[in-house]
Amino acid sequence: MGNIAPVANRLRQETRSSKPRLIPLLSVPYMGQRGRDYCRDIGVSWLDLSGNSSITARNLYVRETGNRNRFRRRGPVESPFGPKGSRITRWILAHPGENFRQRDLAEASGLNKGYTSRVVRKLVDSQLVTRRRSGIEVDDPDILLEAWNEAYQFTRHALIPGHITSRSGATLTREIAGVLEEHQVRYAMTGLPAAWFYTRFASFRLVTVYLEKVPSEELKQELSFREDRRGANIWFVVPNDAGVFDCGRTRDDVRCVHPAQAYLDLQQHPERATEAAGELKDRFPGWRGVDG
């Protein structure tokens, strides 16, 4: 779903105010279940070249499912820094100085043993981690982090930009966190707000928050959220893998992603994001002391 979500969201935004009203229709080789669920939640019709479809409009309803993926590719496992594989790197960076048995990494990341083995092998072959008798360990966390950073693309997550009136970014962050807690919505701040709660470095305007799923209309109304790309001061982000929530921390009653995840996301953020990323790295050398 990593490539489908941002395209579907952009398609919806560009067609919702069109005159005459256009039907947003996304076409892909094969639409997986997560992509189907996401398109349904945001109201985007779709069809795939494998013969499946879900198209809904006024006086129109077309649905065809059950056809197999005609474009399934066989080949090696995805990059060790793909959506799922990166769970292992995140866990290793969140526990500096430790070594891990492969089965412990599988259990911690929620991945099966075979997949974990292939990802670890790629990390070992790239000399990013070392396999010793005592277990898997990393000699230089910064090198591992930067290798992940080179492969990471924030735009693969589904972004819902908007605006909520507030006095400051920190105030808005706390207000959003309070409402999400009340609604029992799984969330974690990232980017500038996460960096601020970890380091208190520089004021900010843009609040970026991961949500487990697309926010409901009821939740948007309670937050007085209106979609607005140009004047956005809030980015709701539905991640392409739930691993972004792993190893998070709570700061001042606000849940934040792990600093390593915030560092990655800051590379593709505006404002003083680059400086904030540097401050995170300076504050937590080797990513030690995160709990301090």
Q: Summarize the confidence of residues 194-216 as an average pLDDT.
A: 94
Model confidence band, residue 246 (pLDDT cutoffs 50, 70, 90): very high
Amino acid in position 21: R
Whole-angstrom Cα distance, residue 167 to residue 203? 12
Q: With respect to CATH, is domain 157-287 assigned 3.40.720?
A: no
The continuous run of DSSP H or E covering 56 comes out as: strand 53-57
Q: Summarize the confidence of residues 183-189 as an average pLDDT.
A: 96
Which of 280, 257, 244 is CA-nearest to residue 157?
Answer: 244
Give the tokens for residue 131.
């396999």
Distance set, CA 245 to CA 154, 210, 256 (Å): 15, 8, 8
Domain ranges of the chain: 4-64, 86-151, 157-287
Tens of pLDDT, residue by residue over 221-236, are 999 999 988 889 999 9
Whole-angstrom Cα distance, residue 281 to residue 259? 8
Whole-angstrom Cα distance, residue 81 to residue 78? 8
pTM for the model stands at 0.76
Whole-angstrom Cα distance, residue 87 to residue 242? 9
Amino acid in position 48: D
Whole-angstrom Cα distance, residue 208 to residue 173? 9
Per-residue pLDDT, 180 = 97
| pLDDT more than 70, % of the chain | 92
Give the tokens for residue 136.
């898997």
Architecture per CATH, 86-151: Orthogonal Bundle (1.10)
Per-residue pLDDT, 14 = 79
The count of other CB atoms within 10 Å of the CB of residue 43 is: 12
Per-residue pLDDT, 57 = 85
101, pLDDT greater than 90: yes
Tens of pLDDT, residue by residue over 70-86, are 887 655 546 799 999 99
